[in-house]
Amino acid sequence: MKIKDRYKQLSIEGKRTIITSDVHGRPDLLKRLLDEVKFSDDDILIINGDIIDKGHDSIGALQYVATLMDKGNVHVLLGNCDKIFDELEEDFLYGYMEYRYTIVHEMLQVLGKSKEDYPSQQAMAHDLRTQFAHLHSVLKDLPLMIETESYIIVHAGVDDDYLETSEHDALNMPFFYNKGHRHEKTVVVGHFPACNFVENGVYHHNIKVHPDYKTIAIDGGNEVKTSGQLNALIIEADGQVSSTFVDDYKKALVIQSFDSGVQMPHTFTYPNYNIDVYEGDEYFTYCEQQGEGCMVKTEYIDFEKNCLKDDYTDYFHKVEMSEYVSVIKRLNGYVLIKKDGIVGFVPEEVLE
């Protein structure tokens, strides 16, 4: 299967168009996102793959997306995670299910069964496909790409000869944003969280528009990254582009202004977790990566493996008294927050 075997041409000219991706079992966030952008019947919505898995409600996400698709102005693309109904017999499935929460877990729960209740994996696959045919049918014939007047929309990436791109590459290509391409049209991809492409040492999950290539990465790392979010790319009827996002972190009131002054922030993201670990205390430890030094919050360090446990930024936010910020994680003496979409620390005493 190649893109040329299953793609869709769509005219969006003169229409406001919303593009999102990587909903990952969060119909609640998708609903909030559509409220946030004031999605209406006059707009076009494109969901760029990965409706299911990782989040807690893949079945709900599929059902919600199915009702949206009935509207006629909603177009859904296939993502690699949405292929799971075709992978029920695969050897890797049970191993994958050990570390990822999937729609298979949910379907088994609905049936009140566990995988051990079946005589074989084949028997389970057959039962799930029969009992949940209505869910499978939502995903079965989704296109691999949507092409508009000015955009190519695909879950992970395209080759230069884009119609010849294999299904596997269209759904799995990992670093397309940095790879570049030769297309006249702008390529919009999800799949690989945009935060992994670090610019100026800043860690954020907002949509990234490549400065040199006509590529836009829209995956906000929802359900994948500790501080992730669900993004929307908004293309106005006149072609103007903007973006917004929703997340569900709790807000906290700033009770003391804080400013750590000028900084040159460092951010380390997956898969670049190896570090050299030097001196530190219970709060921060001095570390280096390829000669670049920075202070790492000590809880983030795996001292046995000399690596980070998660994406890390050493940025400190400037905050003003009586504003609200989103709390990602409370750590020893400091809190990881999100402000204006950017992730960074503040001392714990500045928050209520």
52 or 246: whose CB is closer to Mn ion? 52
Selected binder of Mn ion within 191, 204, 208, 214 (CB under 5 A): 191
First to last CA, the chain: 55
Closest approach of Mn ion to the CB of residue 118, in Å: 28
80 touches Mn ion by CB under 5 A: yes
Closest approach of Mn ion to the CB of residue 88, in Å: 18
Backbone angles phi, psi at 313, to 5 degrees: -130, 145
16 or 191: whose CB is closer to Mn ion? 191
Closest approach of Mn ion to the CB of residue 92, in Å: 16
CB–CB of 157/178 below 8 Å? Answer: no
How many residues touch Mn ion (CB under 5 A)? 4
75 or 155: whose CB is closer to Mn ion? 155
- Name residue 189's beta-bridge partners: 217
Q: Which listed range, 12-20, 45-53, 181-189, 297-305, lies at the site for Mn ion (CB under 5 A)? A: 45-53
Selected binder of Mn ion within 25, 27, 55, 79 (CB under 5 A): 79
d(CA 308, CA 295): 12
Collapsed DSSP state (helix, strand, coil) of residue 132: coil
d(CA 192, CA 279): 34
Q: Which listed range, 43-51, 64-72, 157-165, 254-262, lies at the site for Mn ion (CB under 5 A)? A: 43-51
Q: Which residue is nearest to Mn ion (CB)?
A: 191
Q: Which residues of 61-95 are buried (b: 16+ CB within 10 A; e: fewer)?
A: bbebbbebbeeebbbbbbbbbbbbbebbeeeebee
Tokens 């951010």 sit on residue: 267
Backbone angles phi, psi at 295, to 5 degrees: -90, 125
Selected binder of Mn ion within 2, 48, 50, 173 (CB under 5 A): 50
326 touches Mn ion by CB under 5 A: no
Give residues in contact with Mn ion (CB under 5 A).
Answer: 50, 79-80, 191
